[in-house]
Amino acid sequence: MRNKLIKLFASFIAIILISCTSEEIQRAPLVSDVYVSGSKASHATYWKNNILSSLTDVGFSSSSSDTLIVKNNDIHVLGNGFIGGNVKTLYWKNNVLTNLTDTFSTSTEIATICSMDVDNNNDVYFAGITQNINVTPNTYDLVYWKNGIKYIVDSFTTEPVHLVCIKVNSSNIYITSYGAYYVNGISYSSTDFIWGVNSSSTDVYLYGRSYVSSVWGSSFYKSITTNVQTNLPSIYVPIYKMCFDNGDVYAVNELNVYKNGVILYTTPNNSGIESFDFKNNSLYLLTSQANSTTNQSQIILKDGVTLMQSTSDEIFTSLFVD
């Protein structure tokens, strides 16, 4: 009888512990790491949860990090540096530096790298424009590099706008270039001003500024999958970034953050939105705020609460939440 009571008591305690553990897991907040790219004292840096990491830039008089992607615990950073009066595109993987301009250019071709993406297999993609200086007049190619190997997407006799964005989703490669977009090398024209492309797990979106009847119109984003375009009530400013969280679609321009096409947040007067992300039901913002006619500060916000604020020798350029 005593053994039975002991077993029953032990089972009862185990149930309580399991219940408490389950409840604690359910109540435990989801913690995200907040990365900010930029520069400090004119040299490339990034911050992770407000902790500064300097990036290697030996030989460059100044540098900056502009885009940061964290994938499979690797930190990929795209930026630029000045050397001998020339600007070079730089790439760091876990702080190992590659000069992409010199790596991708040849004696007859100048490479301009505009954007970066990393897929789930750790393949690294860059997209941009190459200029053939071996012919007169020069010709130009819209290209991307996958793990350093170049692929030509389109060719031009005049220089195209250097607003090129790349996104890889389920082995499909999407590239945008101002008035066109490409899916695995197939071109689709657009009358709209396309700023970029991003994807959720189920859909791919273009975004930018609409163009109707010879008039620049509202901010917009458009699903490539459904061909449904959402025009947003902000005139003349493009959507310049999109993200996705828990099935919801978020888009941002300099003035507003939109959730499923409805304004979620509007920046106060004398300030602007420079970057954003949405993760685990929280809104992260990189904003600039004018302090006077000549000075401004940059602030990182999470749901309206300040996480970071730039000092006089710091510049924030983009935001990534992992």
| Cβ neighbour number for residue 213 with a 10 Å cutoff | 6
Residue-wise pLDDT for 260-278, tens only, equals: 999 999 998 878 999 999 9
Higher-pLDDT residue of 13 and 119 is 119
Q: Could you report the per-residue pLDDT of 166-189, keeping only the tens digit for each?
A: 999 988 999 999 889 999 999 999
Stretch 223-243: mean pLDDT: 89
State pLDDT tens for residues 63-101: 999 999 999 999 999 999 999 999 999 999 999 999 999
Per-residue model confidence as pLDDT tens digits over 196-207: 999 998 899 999
Looking at the predicted structure, is the pLDDT value of residue 14 above 50? no
CA distance 143 to 151: 6
Distance between CA 233 and CA 231 in Å, rounded? 7
What pLDDT does residue 18 have? 39
Q: Does the structure show a pLDDT above 60 at 26?
A: no
State mean pLDDT over 250-254.
95
The yes-or-no verdict on residue 20 having pLDDT over 70 is no
Cβ-based neighbours of 305, under 8 Å, separated by 6 or more: none
* Burial call 223-251: b when 16+ CB within 10 Å, e when fewer: bbeeeeebbbebeebbbbbbbbbeeebbb
Tokens representing 79? 């930026």
Mean pLDDT to the nearest integer, 131-153: 97
Least confident piece of the model among 83-97, 245-259, 287-301: 287-301
